[in-house]
């Protein structure tokens, strides 16, 4: 096992008992305590955790170290969604949060997220400082656990305050006009007892599935991707529901099925909700999207005469625009979004509620709403993403390859390039392809968008040939 601790786009993650260990968690907790105390000598830290194997034990281990190094600790009294932890931070005005979660990763993974005072993911300058502090500890310095006898941190219940906040953000009076119910799928994660409860509390017909804890997540992992939502699809058909609403392991991401069971891309959900929020709330604000996310967001911004902002991949960048009250909505193609007035963190529960509200308000299916939006902006947008595993020789050449300036790809002339995060080639007519290397695996992620899924896949194939050539 390597000793280095590395924070990626959404925290530090690794395979349990290999990369992610109790000693590692204690070492990171000590580094976080020292970082926070460099800003405030008497900080308060919230500690939360998800439903994974050992998450509660990892959280207790982190809490003991934080307390031993001078932090006042609040420990969640049960597993809790990442957005609820973020909201509790903002509500209490505390200094930071440690959250034990690997989000949508497979069951053998766990992870640790650190959030700053605004509730959003810590920015790179903060995580780099934490990494550097952790690296200065000897590998065996935190091999032994802190004594449990001194535990005196407060256990806190954060559900009620968060659900009350959702009632202020979502128009449940509109949602109650829905002509049928919804099905909620927690995929055995933290959304259980949160999304389904808030709908039921407001009189919305709801069916819950996969709400019980299963640390193996049925062998698939708690990712609300199209291939993992078979049980939800079946339930939507059986209940004749208006939509299927799914959240991932820590409920910061979402997966949506239309009334016919068809999976709706998070790219399209983001653009539809942007359009709906401007219409329903009257917000004359733009949107923020990552460089890998659909240009349909840009088209909606143009339709309403508002700006859009492009960011590198990573929700921490989107969250900055929310914190500054510059946008109505911010999101990424990887199924994370939040809205004005809420936390600068992904919120899959809120996303599901807003989709349900939009369906109830407009009275049409998501497919019909998408087709209407395409007509209004004058073209169709079909984005895709594929992960390409690289041979060693290709991996060695990747940096130089992405530094090149190709004039064409697959016979199509390149009219623009974007190096905000990876290499994005822009073609005439607005089609594009982005090649972005993974920071943790020998693979490159290829994103592309065209007027059909077939054309987008063809572009991705050309990009793969170019990288490997």
pLDDT at 85: 98
The domain 177-262: what is its CATH number?
Answer: 3.40.120.10
pLDDT at 8: 82
Per the listing, tokens 């929700």 go with: 315
Residues of CATH 3.30.310.50 domain(s) within the chain?
A: 382-468
CATH T-level assignment (fold) for domain 382-468? TATA-Binding Protein (3.30.310)
Residues of CATH 3.40.120.10 domain(s) within the chain?
A: 12-159, 177-262
Beta strand 327-332 pairing with 206-209: unpaired
Query: Quick one: tokens of 40?
Result: 């405030």
> Which residue in 268, 313, 310, 315 sits closest to 288, CA to CA?
310
pLDDT at 148: 58
pLDDT at 112: 97
pLDDT at 60: 95
Strand partners, 109: 15
Cα gap 374→387, rounded to integer Å: 27
pLDDT at 1: 40
pLDDT at 439: 65
Query: Quick one: tokens of 82?
Result: 């990442």
Per-residue confidence in pLDDT tens, the chain, 469 aa: 456 788 987 789 999 999 999 999 999 999 999 999 999 999 999 999 999 999 999 999 999 999 999 999 999 999 999 999 999 999 999 999 999 999 999 999 999 999 999 999 998 999 999 999 999 998 778 877 766 555 678 999 999 999 999 999 999 999 999 999 999 999 999 999 999 999 999 999 999 999 999 999 999 899 999 999 999 999 999 999 999 999 999 999 999 999 999 999 999 999 999 999 999 999 999 999 999 999 999 999 999 999 999 999 989 899 889 989 999 999 999 999 999 999 999 999 999 999 999 999 999 999 999 999 999 999 999 999 999 988 888 888 898 999 999 999 999 999 999 999 999 999 999 999 999 997 666 789 999 999 999 999 999 999 999 998 8
pLDDT at 67: 94
CATH architecture type of domain 12-159: 3-Layer(aba) Sandwich (3.40)
């Amino acid at each position: 096992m390597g000793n280095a601790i590395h924070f990626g786009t959404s925290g530090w993650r690794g395979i349990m008992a290999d990369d992610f260990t109790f000693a590692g968690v204690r070492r990171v907790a000590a580094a976080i305590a020292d970082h926070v105390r460099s800003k405030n000598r008497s900080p308060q830290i919230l500690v939360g955790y998800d439903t994974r194997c050992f998450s509660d034990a990892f959280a207790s281990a982190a809490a003991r170290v934080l307390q031993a190094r001078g932090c006042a600790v609040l420990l969640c009294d049960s597993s809790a969604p990442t957005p609820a932890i973020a909201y509790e931070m903002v509500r209490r005005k505390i200094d930071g949060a440690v959250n034990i979660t690997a989000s949508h990763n497979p069951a053998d993974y766990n992870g640790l997220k650190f959030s700053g005072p605004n509730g959003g993911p810590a920015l790179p300058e903060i995580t780099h400082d934490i990494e550097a502090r952790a690296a200065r500890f000897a590998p065996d310095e935190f091999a032994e656990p802190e004594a449990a006898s001194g535990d005196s941190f407060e256990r806190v219940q954060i559900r009620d305050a968060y659900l009350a906040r959702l009632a202020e953000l979502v128009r449940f009076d509109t949602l109650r006009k829905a002509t049928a119910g919804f099905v909620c799928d927690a995929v055995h994660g933290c959304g259980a007892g949160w999304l389904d409860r808030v709908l039921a509390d407001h009189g919305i017909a709801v069916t819950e599935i996969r709400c019980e804890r299963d640390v193996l997540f049925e062998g698939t992992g708690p990712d609300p991707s199209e291939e993992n939502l078979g049980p939800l699809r079946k339930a939507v058909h059986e209940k004749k529901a208006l939509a299927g609403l799914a959240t991932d392991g820590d409920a910061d991401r979402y997966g949506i099925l239309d009334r016919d069971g068809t999976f709706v891309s998070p790219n399209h959900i983001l653009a539809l909700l942007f359009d709906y929020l401007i219409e329903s709330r009257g917000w004359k604000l733009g949107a923020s999207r990552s460089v890998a996310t659909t240009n349909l967001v840009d088209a909606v911004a143009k339709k309403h005469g508002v700006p859009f902002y492009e960011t590198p991949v990573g929700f921490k960048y989107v969250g900055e625009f929310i914190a500054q009250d510059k946008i109505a909505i911010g999101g990424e193609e990887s199924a994370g979004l939040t809205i004005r007035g809420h936390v600068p963190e992904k919120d899959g529960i809120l996303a599901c509620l807003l989709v349900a509200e939009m369906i109830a308000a407009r009275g049409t299916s998501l497919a019909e709403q998408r087709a209407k939006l395409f007509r209004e902006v004058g073209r169709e947008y079909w984005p895709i993403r594929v992960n390409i595993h690289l041979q060693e020789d290709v991996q060695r050449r990747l940096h130089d390859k992405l530094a090149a300036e190709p004039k064409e790809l697959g016979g199509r002339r390149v009219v623009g390039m974007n190096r905000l995060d990876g290499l994005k080639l822009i073609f005439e007519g607005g089609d594009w392809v982005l090649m972005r290397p993974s920071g943790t695996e020998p693979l490159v992620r290829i994103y592309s968008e065209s007027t059909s899924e077939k054309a987008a896949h063809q572009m991705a194939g050309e990009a793969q040939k170019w990288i490997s050539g």
